[in-house]
Amino acid sequence: MANVLDLRRRIRSVRNTRQITKAMKMVAAAKLRRAQERAVSARPYAAMLASVLESLKRRAEIYDPETGECRHPLLLTRPEKRILLVVVSGDKGFAGAFNTNIFKAAANFILENGDKEIDIEAIGRKGRDLFRRRYPAAQFTGNNEEDQRPERQQRSSAVEVLAGPTAALEKIDYDAVREVAEEIIGLYTHEQIDAAYLVYNEFKSVIQQRVVVERVLPILSLTIHEIEKAEEPTLEERERAAEAALSAGVSLYPHEAEAAQKQLEDEAKNFGTAEVDYIYEQPPAEIFADVLPRYVTSQLYHATLESIAAEHAARMTAMDSATNNASDMIDSLTLTMNRVRQAAITKEIIEIVSGAAAI
C-alpha cells in the first residue's frame, strides 16, 4: 500500500493540474464572450446581404427568357464530379471532442463521396495539419496558356489538399476570408470544381451547437442555408455545457438586449425589399452579379466566426469537466491518505498496547 508521503505528492500534483484547467476554463470563457459578440455583430450584414439578393432575384432576370439559360456562373449546377470541401476546425486542442467531431463529419463526407474527386481546404491549424498528413497536397504547375490560371497536375489521389489560409484563427479578418472565397469562386467559375461544401461547428448558444455540412456552391436557394447534414449534441452534453457556462459566469442566452438585437435583425431582413420600385443605378443583373460572390464570402465568414465561438465554448466545457474530475480525484486521494494514516496510527497503538501487556 502506498504510503502517506506518496499520496500527499500525488494530491499536490493533481491540485496543480486543477489550477491550470481552471485558469484555462476562465480564459476560454472570456474569449467565448468576445467571440460571441463578434458573431452577433456580424449578423446584420449577412442578413442584409441575403435579403438584398432575394429582392434582386425577382427583378434581375437570372434566367435568359429565350434560351432558359442561367446567367450567372455561380448559379449553374453541374453533375458533381469534383467537390471542394472546406473544413473549419480549431487552432488548438484541449477542447474536448470539438476537432474530432469536425474531422469525423469530414471523413464521413469523404467516404460517402468516395467515387468523386475531392479537394480539401482547411481553415484552422488542427485541420490543416491532419489533412496534410493524411492526403497528398495538390500539385500545380505553371500557368494555363488560355486564362493564365495555374494548371493542375495529374492527381495522385482521389483526395487532395489545397493550400488554405495560414493566418491564426484568432486574428482572422474579413480580408483573409475573402481571399479564400475568391479562390473558391475562381475554381468554380473555371469549372475546376463542380460543388463546394462547408463543414463547420454551428454555434447557436453555449448549449446549442452542432456540426453541419452545408453547401456553398452552387447557390440554389438564397434565404435558407442548405444544410446537408447536422449532428446535434446529446442531452447529457448539453447539461454539461450549461453547468460549465454557469460556473464561468457566461450567460446561456447571450445578450440581455436580445429584443433590440432581434428588432435590428428584422430590420436587416427588410433591407432592399421594401415594396417600392427602386431606381437601380446599375442594371439589376449587374448588381446581382456583384453581390453573389459577396454572399459566398459572407457565408464563409459567418461559418468561421461561429466556429471560433463554438471552439471556445467546447474548450470551456472540457476544461470545466477536467476541473471537476481533478476535484473528485483530490477528494478520493485525500480519503485514501487519511485511511492509510489512520491505519498506521492504529497499528502503532496496537503494538504499544500489546507490548505493554506483555511486560
Partner 1 sequence: MPDQLKVRLVTPDRILVDQTVEAVEVPGKNGYFEVLYGAAPLLSEIGAGEVRLHGGEAGDRRYSVARGFVEVLPERVTILAEEAEKPQDIDTAAAQQQLQHGEKLWSEAGEDPEKYAHANEVMREAEARLESAGEKG
Interface with partner 1 (CB under 8 A): 38, 41-42, 44-46, 48-49, 52, 147-148, 173-174, 178, 264, 271-272, 274, 276-282, 286-287, 290-291, 294, 298, 301
Please tell me the distance from the alpha carbon of residue 203 to that of residue 302, in angstroms, as a whole number.
10
CB-wise, 60 or 244, nearer to partner 1?
60
CB-wise, 21 or 307, nearer to partner 1?
307
Orientation of helix 4-41 relative to helix 284-358, angle to 10°: 160
Identify which of 223, 215, 191, 218 has the alpha carbon closest to the alpha carbon of residue 293.
218
How far is Cα of residue 338 from the mean position of the Cα atoms in its chain? 46
Rounded least distance, CB 107 to partner 1, Å: 31
Rounded least distance, CB 315 to partner 1, Å: 23
What b/e readout covers 246-259, taking b as 16+ CB neighbours within 10 angstroms? ebbebeeebeeeee
Phi, psi of 157 (to 5 degrees): -155, 160
CB-wise, 115 or 147, nearer to partner 1?
147
Rounded least distance, CB 172 to partner 1, Å: 12
Rounded least distance, CB 73 to partner 1, Å: 13
Rounded least distance, CB 5 to partner 1, Å: 56
Rounded least distance, CB 296 to partner 1, Å: 13
CB-wise, 298 or 317, nearer to partner 1?
298
Please tell me the distance from the alpha carbon of residue 22 to that of residue 322, in angstroms, as a whole number.
8
Identify which of 211, 244, 204, 247 has the alpha carbon closest to the alpha carbon of residue 228.
211
CB-wise, 52 or 314, nearer to partner 1?
52
Rounded least distance, CB 267 to partner 1, Å: 9
CB-wise, 140 or 271, nearer to partner 1?
271
Rounded least distance, CB 290 to partner 1, Å: 6
CB-wise, 178 or 229, nearer to partner 1?
178
Identify which of 18, 10, 3, 12 has the alpha carbon closest to the alpha carbon of residue 322.
18
Please tell me the distance from the alpha carbon of residue 151 to that of residue 201, in angstroms, as a whole number.
33
Residues with Cβ within 8 Å of residue 167, at least 6 apart in sequence = 176
Identify which of 21, 16, 30, 51 has the alpha carbon closest to the alpha carbon of residue 291.
51
CB-wise, 147 or 236, nearer to partner 1?
147
Phi, psi of 161 (to 5 degrees): -110, 135
